[in-house]
Amino acid sequence: MTADGVLIEAAAVHVPAVAPGLLIASDTTPACGPDEAHGLLGRKGLLFKEPAVRLAMCAVHKALGLPPGRPTGPVPGAAGTAVVVSSNLGNVATVCDIVDQVRAGGLRGVSPMQAPNASSNIIASSIAIRYGFTGPNLMVCSGATGGLDAVRLGALLVRGGRTRRAVVVGAEPGDAVAAALRSAAGLPPGPPEGIAACVVLTAADRPGVRLRSVRRHSAPEPVPADAGPVVRLSGADAPSADLAGVLASGYGATGVLQTALAARWLADPADRPAGVGDATEAAVTCGSADDGFATGRLSRHRGRR
Amino acid sequence: MALAITGSAMRTALGGTAETFTALLAGKSGRQPLGYVNPDQVNVRYGYHVDAVEEERPYRASAWLAECVAEAARQAGLDGARERIVVIVGTGLRELRAVERWRADGLPVEPHALHFAGAVRDTLPGVTEVVTVSNACSASSHALALAADLIRLDEADAVVACGADAMTESMLAMIGRVGDESSDAVRPFDADRRGVLLGDGAAAVVLRSVPDSEAEVRLRGVGMSCDAYHETAPDPEGLRAAMADAYQRAGLRPADVGLVLAHGTGTALNDPTEARVLAGLFADVRRPPLVTAIKGAIGHTSGSAGLMSLLVAVEALRHGTVPPVTGLRMPIAEAAPLDLVIGRPARTGAHVAQVNAFGFGGVNAVCLVEVRHDR
C-alpha cells in the first residue's frame, strides 16, 4: 500500500508494567493496569469488560487527549469516525471461561453479560460504543502482522473516502489464559499486564508525520543503506534491549505500538528515549516466520506537501 | 471499468453453490442434530453442519476455506506470480474452536492457525498478503467492502474476499444461555420464531476491475456503518446508515432493486428491526422488491453469512427464480409491508439485489450486486 495521503494526527501507548519513559521519554505517568483502568476511563461501563478492551480504551482515551472519566456523549467529531483494532488473544480468556463452565455442567452460571465477549470483535465495538464512533468498524485478527495490517486498513478507509478519521488500536491482554496459550505455543510471554497503543489517522492536509506505506513480505524487508537517518523498530532493531523485548512480545499490538512510537519520536525530540536520534523517516517491521512480515514507513513533513 | 466477481465458491450444510441453491428452491433445510458438542451442556440441540458424521477434525473452517479459495481462484484464473493479489478473510469465530479443545480436551493449539493466512497461502502460493477480519456476523461483507476499495485505489489487481466459520462451544453456550427456550429451527421473520441456530461453512469470491461489457456479475457498492449503540441489540439508525452508504456508493436508488437477501436471523430483536427498516426503505417504491433469507436452511453461518447470501442472490438473479424463506409460515406484523417469498419460489426479472449483513457490536455491511441477463 502507498499511503501518501495519510497523516498520523495523534499517537499514544499504554503498556502497564513498563517504565513509561522507556517508550515515550516525556511520559512520566505509569500506565494503569486493566484493573485500575477506571481511574482514566471512569467506573461506569467497565463491568464485564475484558483486560484487552480496557487497555485499548485507555490508549484511545490518551490519543484523543480526553480528560479522565467516561464521556457523557459522543466525543467531538465522533460521527463517521472509523475504528480498526488488532488483537489475537483479546477474548480467549472469556472463551475458555465459558467452556470451563459448560464442561462442568454449569451453563446457568455463565452470565449473559459475557455474551458479547464471546465474539472476537468486542474490542472494536466497545470503543465505538463508548466514544460514539459510527464509521466503519473493523477487528483484525491476523497474528503477528495484525498491528500493521490494522494500520494499513485504517489508511485504506481514509484514502478510500470511507471516513475522515480512523482510530487504529492494537491490544493484547496479559491474563493467565493468554499467557498459557503463548507458553503452549512457544511464543514469548507478553508484558505481564498487557499492552495497547493507538494512532489516529486523517487526510494529510497539513504538516506532520505521515504514514507513507505498509507492505507485507514473506521475510523482513531490509532498509536501504543510503536511506539517511532512519528510526528503525523491529523485534531485533530497537534503541534498548528492554524495548526490543516489548516489541518482540506485543503480538497483534506490536505494529500499532511501533507506528505510535515512531510517530511521536519523529515529531518531538522530547519524546525520544536514550538511543533515538533525530530523523525524518522511520521503518517499522513486525511479524513472525509463521505469519509473515509487514513493514510500515513513516516520514515527517514540515511543508505543505 | 466495473468491479466484477469473476470467480466464486461456497460450502454450506447443503453443499456447494449449485447444490445449495437447488436445495433452497426445494425448501430443504440442512438442519441436523448438534454434533461435536454435548447438546445438554449448551442447551442447543441442532446445528447446520457441513460435516458432523465423523470425528471432529481440527481447523475445519480452514479446510472449507481452502476448498472455496482454490475453486474461486481457478474460475478467475488468478496468477499469484504475476498479479498483486490480496486475500481478506471475514470470520466471526476464527478457529477459536481449537482454543476450546486445547483448554477442555488437552489438544495442541497453534496460534498462527487461529487466523487463516496459513490455509490461504498453502492454497495460493505466492500470495503474501492475507488479512483476517473478525467482524462478527457481517465479517465477509466487510471483507468485500475492503476488497472493492483495494481495487478501486489500484492497490491490488485482484482481491479474494472470503468468509469462514466453524461453530464454537462458547458461542453455542451463549445462544443456549440467552434464549428462554432451546430453538428447534431458524425461522426468519416468522411469528413463531424461537431464536437462532448456528451453521458451518465458507465462501470466497474473486473481485477484479474489468471493462463494463465483460462484467456479468457486478459489485455495485458495499456500505458500512457501526451503530455505536449496543453490543447485541441492533439500532435501526445504524442499519439505515449502511444501506444509505451502499446506495450512494453504487449510484442506485431503492427502486432499482428487485430482490433483497435479508439478514433474517430468526431472533426476537433482529427480525422486527430489519423488517421495519426495509419497509421504510422501500415505502415509496411502486413495485417493492422480493425479500428472502437463507438462515432457515443453512443456519447462521456467522462471518460467512453475508457472502453466502450474496452468492444466493447472484444465483437467483441469474436464474430468475428466488428461493422461499425456509422455516417461514406466518410473518411477523412488522414484515407485513414486505413481499416475502413464502412456501414456493418466486419468478423475477430483476437485475439488482441488496444483501444485508449485521453483526454483534452493531457492525453493519450492505452490498448491492447486479447480474446481467437477457430476460
Residues of chain A contacting residue B238, judged by C-beta atoms under 8 Å apart: 134
Residue from the list A142, A156, A218 with its beta carbon closest to the beta carbon of B149:
A156
Average pLDDT, integer, range B78-102: 96
**CA separation, residue B110 to residues A185, A251, B57, B114, B327 (Å):** 6, 14, 14, 7, 39
Q: pLDDT band for position B12 (50/70/90)? A: very high
Of the residues B68, B137, B162, B367, only one is catalytic, namely B137
By the CB < 8 Å criterion, does B99 face chain A? yes
Interval B274-278 mean pLDDT: 98
Q: Which CATH number fits domain A2-301: 3.40.47.10, 3.40.50.720, 3.30.390.50, 3.40.50.1000?
A: 3.40.47.10
Is the predicted pLDDT of residue A59 greater than 50, yes or no? yes
Catalytic residue among B49, B115, B142, B300: B300
Note the pLDDT tens digit of each residue in A10-47.
999 999 999 999 999 999 999 999 999 999 999 999 99
Residue A281 confidence (pLDDT) above 90: yes
Mutate to test the interface with B, among A83, A88, A138, A165 (most CBs of B within 10 A): A138
- The rounded mean pLDDT for chain A is 93
Contact indicator for A139, A124 with CB cutoff of 8 Å:
yes
Residues A273-294 have a mean pLDDT of: 93
Residue whose C-alpha cell reads 505517568 in the numeric block: A29
Residue type, B291: V
Contacts of residue A167, defined as CB under 8 A and 6 or more positions apart, other chains included, come to A60, A63, A64, A81, A82, A83, A84, A127, A131, A133, A154, A198, A200
| Location of C-alpha cell 511543508 | A303
CB < 8 Å to B227, chain A: 128-129, 134
Higher pLDDT, A227 or A230: A230
Give CA–CA dist A260/A66, Å, rounded: 17
Put simply, the answer to whether A162 touches B41 (Cβ < 8 Å) is no
Mean pLDDT value of segment A287-303? 91
Q: What is the pLDDT of residue A4?
A: 61
pLDDT in tens, B83-94: 999 999 999 999
If you ran DSSP here, which 8-state letter would residue B12 be given? Answer: B
pLDDT > 70? residue A227 = no
Pairwise CA distance, residues B197 & B37, whole Å: 14
Instruction: Give which of B131, B182, B239 to mutate to test A binding, by max A Cβ within 10 Å.
Output: B131
Whole-number percent of chain B with pLDDT over 90: 94
DSSP states along B156-215: -SEEEEEEEE---HHHHHHHHHHSSS--SS--TTBTT-----BB-EEEEEEEEEE-GGG-
Query: What pLDDT score was predicted for residue A305?
Result: 43
Residue B361, chain A, CB below 8 Å: the answer is: yes
Mean pLDDT of all residues in B139-167: 98
In angstroms, the separation between the Cα of residue B214 and the nearest Cα of chain A is 25
* Interface contact flag, A125 B363, Cβ < 8 Å: yes
- Nearest-Cα distance to chain A for B139, in Å, is 9
B162 is known as an active-site residue: no
CB pairs under 8 A between A and B: 216
CB contact A216 to B (< 8 Å): yes
State residue A149's pLDDT score: 98
User: Residue B105: enclosing H or E segment and its boundaries?
Assistant: helix B96-105
ipTM of the complex: 0.97
* pLDDT(B54) > 80: no
Q: How far is B192 from chain A (nearest CA, A)?
A: 23
Nearest alpha-carbon partner for B351 in B325, B324, B369: B369
Mutate: best of B59, B84, B170, partner A, most A CBs <10 A? B170
Say which residue the cell 515512531 belongs to.
A262
Contacts of A218 in chain B (CB under 8 A): 128
pLDDT at B285: 97
Q: Do A122 and B146 touch (CB under 8 A)?
A: no
Listed as own residue / partner, the contacts of B22-27 with beta carbons closer than 8 Å and 24 or more positions apart are: B23/B297, B24/B294, B24/B297, B24/B312, B24/B323, B24/B324, B24/B326, B25/B321, B25/B323, B25/B345, B27/B297, B27/B323, B27/B324, B27/B326, B27/B343, B27/B344
* CB-CB neighbors (< 8 A) of A165 in chain B: none
If phi > 0 it is left, if psi is from -120 to 50 it is alpha, else beta; for residue B349 that is alpha
Condensed to tens digits (0 to 9), the pLDDT of residues B279-298 reads: 999 999 999 999 999 999 99
Please state the pTM of the whole predicted model: 0.97
B115 is catalytic: no
Confidence of residue A2 (pLDDT cuts 50, 70, 90): low
Give the domains, in start order, of chain B with CATH numbers: 2-210 (3.40.47.10), 216-371 (3.40.47.10)
Collect all residues of chain B within an 8 Å Cβ-Cβ radius of residue A182: 111
Q: State how far the alpha carbon of A268 is from the alpha carbons of A24, A26, A208, in Å.
A: 10, 10, 10
Buried b (16+ CB within 10 A) or exposed e, B221-234: bbbbbbbbbbbbeb
Do A115 and B174 count as a contact with CB atoms less than 8 A apart? yes
Could you tell me if B168 lies within 8 Å of chain A, comparing CB atoms?
A: yes
Q: Indicate yes or no: CB of B41 within 8 angstroms of CB of A105.
A: yes
Give the active site residue among B115, B142, B263, B367: B263
Contact residues, B window 101-130, toward A, CB-based 8 Å cutoff: 102-104, 108-112, 114-115, 117-118, 121, 128-130
Name the residue with cell 438473479: B317
Interface probe for B, chosen from A57, A89, A92, A102 (most Cβ of B below 10 Å), is A102
Residue A67 CB neighbours (<10 A): 7
Question: How many percent of chain A have pLDDT more than 90?
Answer: 80
Residue B257 has pLDDT above 70, yes or no: yes
Over residues A273-284, the mean pLDDT reads: 92
Pick the closest to residue B260 from B137, B136, B357 (CA basis). Answer: B357
Report CB contact under 8 Å: B153, A92. no
B137 catalytic? Reply is: yes
A157 vs B contacts (CB less than 8 Å)? 149
pLDDT tens per residue, range A93-148: 999 999 999 999 889 889 888 888 999 999 999 999 999 999 999 999 999 999 99
- Antiparallel, parallel or unpaired: β A82-86 and A137-140: parallel
